[in-house]
Amino acid sequence: MAGNSGRPGVSVASRVLALLGAFDTDHRAMTLTELANRAGLPLATAYRLVGELVDWGALVRRASGEYVVGRKLWDLGLLAPVQSGLRQIASPFLHDLYAATLATVHLAVRDGTSVLYVDRLAGHVSVPVVSDVGTRLPMHATGVGKVLLAHAPEDVRAWVFTNLTRITPYTVTQPGRLRSELRRVRRDGFAQTSEEMSLGASSVAVPIAVPGGPVVAALGIVVPSIGRDRPRLVAALQVAAQGIGRSLPLGESR
Amino acid sequence: MAGNSGRPGVSVASRVLALLGAFDTDHRAMTLTELANRAGLPLATAYRLVGELVDWGALVRRASGEYVVGRKLWDLGLLAPVQSGLRQIASPFLHDLYAATLATVHLAVRDGTSVLYVDRLAGHVSVPVVSDVGTRLPMHATGVGKVLLAHAPEDVRAWVFTNLTRITPYTVTQPGRLRSELRRVRRDGFAQTSEEMSLGASSVAVPIAVPGGPVVAALGIVVPSIGRDRPRLVAALQVAAQGIGRSLPLGESR
DNA sequence: GACTTGGCTTCCACTGAGTGGAAGGATTGA
DNA sequence: TCAATCCTTCCACTCAGTGGAAGCCAAGTC
């Protein structure tokens, strides 16, 4: 633990975690060799540890020989408070919202300096939407992101303002403009984007707050274009957000 | 370390997994002591390992001092093939079904000898429903369970037939009767239950299969009572199930 | 304000669990 | 047949992990 340069994580636990961490959206299935490489472990070591993980059910070995995340980890993940509270409570309201608007509906929370999509309802054919449950996206280019950013602590906002990456030609990258947008979000109670994240997709979003309490999440919808429908969409969103907020246990946050 | 309490897992990896395994639906938040006890580890050992898990993000320590499952594990769980394929594809169809019936909608797969609920859509006020995403229930007492059982390998069926526990007064516990019901399920293409899992709730369910392939999941709805609505419900279910089946990649199963 | 209780954190000498290089298999493909 | 990948097993060495014990700290309790 002393500051000598060099020593990577060497505890067995960290090796196990390195193996688990090797999985991500782009690596859902890997051979042992790939897994070992990505985890930075010698093959033989990975072999032993992976064996234990499989025995326990954390990983599963497919017929093809590749390893994937197992059901037991899926179970475990469901126990995370990220969703158990918020998501379950919000679920029926999301359906209402979907029924009322037929647009893709999103429920998101802030995770550090990005937006984490906690739930999504999508129709069959819909606007190109990049987000999926578990996705993280930058805050400045999405409707829900702007809402959460508008209500985030100053240090988070500061960081985001210095990292306004351009994603489409319409992404807002001038701190000044974003700052005034956020002011408007706080004043009007909703945010919107137009093709700032992906072309052909616009969005409207509102905050979800415990009554009289802090903003804990954001609710948004994605549509091809907003036009004069905005008042209707905002109204629907706000009704749903109110409903969710009222149903939240007063403790939950993070 | 020598044989104190039963079989302490001896590898470090197994100790780590024991800690993770200590979490379940009834134990979503635990103090270090509780965690150590449930994992069967000495406090000092648990302390060290839990520390590593927290550093990595597998667990989170709340302000109250209790540990809960962290976001990183939630992320990981989402990568499990249990849901990524099936659930995503089915999602829009489930909405349609919900919109058409306004009943609680279930998507389930077989996990060993029980039913695993992979997704659920519920309205605001609904029938008392025990199942939630991630729940496992006995196969013989639920609609989706009967469907999956009807299409399960013989050994699974055999096991289930010798373990027909009674849950409500209406649960089918006679192997003979269940066997003929399953025959009917295969013939008619749907299953139903009436208060066999919980009083005041009935259900209808149909199989989901890759076209010309095996049954991979079941789709069901729960309503207060079925009555003369059955043909309509079955029709709606079958349309949705067909749609899902057609959209499935031909490889996916288990 | 002394005492108890329960849970958390740190310490450290000992030792066996974990390590990983190397060699041997099993497939696949040219 | 040979070569390239990837997987599995082996084993002597050693350092990471262990866990009993002692000390902390806060919240009760008398």
> Would you say the C-beta of B13 is within 7 Å of strand C?
yes
Among B77, B76, B74, B137, which residue's Cα sits nearest to residue B106?
Answer: B137
> Would you say the C-beta of A45 is within 7 Å of strand C?
yes
Task: Mark whether A24 and A117 lie in a shared domain.
Answer: no
Task: Mark whether A86 and A207 lie in a shared domain.
Answer: yes
| Residue B142 near residue B109, CB atoms below 8 Å | no
Neighbours of A79 (CB within 10 A): 22
Q: Find the mean pLDDT for residues A73-79.
A: 92
Q: Is residue A4 part of a domain?
A: no
Euclidean distance between CA atoms B172 and B149, whole angstroms: 14
Q: Is residue B67 part of a domain?
A: yes
Q: Is residue B201 part of a domain?
A: yes
CATH number for B47: 1.10.10.10
What digits encode the pLDDT tens for the residues B43-53? 999 999 999 99
Task: Mark whether A82 and A26 lie in a shared domain.
Answer: no
Task: Mark whether A36 and A142 lie in a shared domain.
Answer: no
pLDDT for the residue B253: 40
Q: What is the DSSP letter of B197?
A: S
Q: Which of B55, B73, B91 is the last residue of a domain?
A: B73
| Residue A163 near residue A171, CB atoms below 8 Å | no
Domain count, chain B: 2
Task: Mark whether A32 and A86 lie in a shared domain.
Answer: no
CATH number for B136: 3.30.450.40
pLDDT for the residue A134: 86
Q: Which of A57, A73, A89 is the last residue of a domain?
A: A73
> Would you say the C-beta of A11 is within 7 Å of strand D?
yes
Residues 6+ apart with CB under 8 A from A221: A97, A101, A103, A104, A105, A106, A143, A203, A204, A205, A233, A237
> Which residues in A lie closer than 8 A to residue B91 (C-beta atoms)?
121-122
Q: Is residue A3 part of a domain?
A: no
Task: Mark whether B110 and B174 lie in a shared domain.
Answer: yes
Task: Mark whether A170 and A198 lie in a shared domain.
Answer: yes
Q: Is residue B1 part of a domain?
A: no
Q: Which domain holds residue A36?
A: 12-73
The CA–CA distances, whole Å, from A97 to A113, A233, A240, B124 equal: 27, 9, 7, 13
Task: Mark whether B116 and B57 lie in a shared domain.
Answer: no
Q: Which of B73, B95, B125 is the last residue of a domain?
A: B73
Poorest-confidence range of A124-133, A204-213, B178-187? A124-133
Task: Mark whether B172 and B63 lie in a shared domain.
Answer: no
pLDDT for the residue B154: 92
Task: Mark whether B111 and B201 lie in a shared domain.
Answer: yes
Euclidean distance between CA atoms B95 and A188, whole angstroms: 31
Nearest to B84 among A14, A28, A60 (CB): A28
What digits encode the pLDDT tens for the residues A100-147? 888 899 999 999 899 999 999 887 766 666 778 888 999 999 999 999
Pairing of strands A59-61, A67-69: antiparallel
- Interchain CB contact of A122 with B (< 8 Å): yes
pLDDT for the residue A1: 32
Chain A 129-148, residues with CB within 8 Å of chain B CB atoms: 132-134
Task: Mark whether B220 and B169 lie in a shared domain.
Answer: yes
Euclidean distance between CA atoms B107 and B91, whole angstroms: 9
Q: What is the pTM of this model?
A: 0.84
Task: Mark whether B49 and B86 lie in a shared domain.
Answer: no
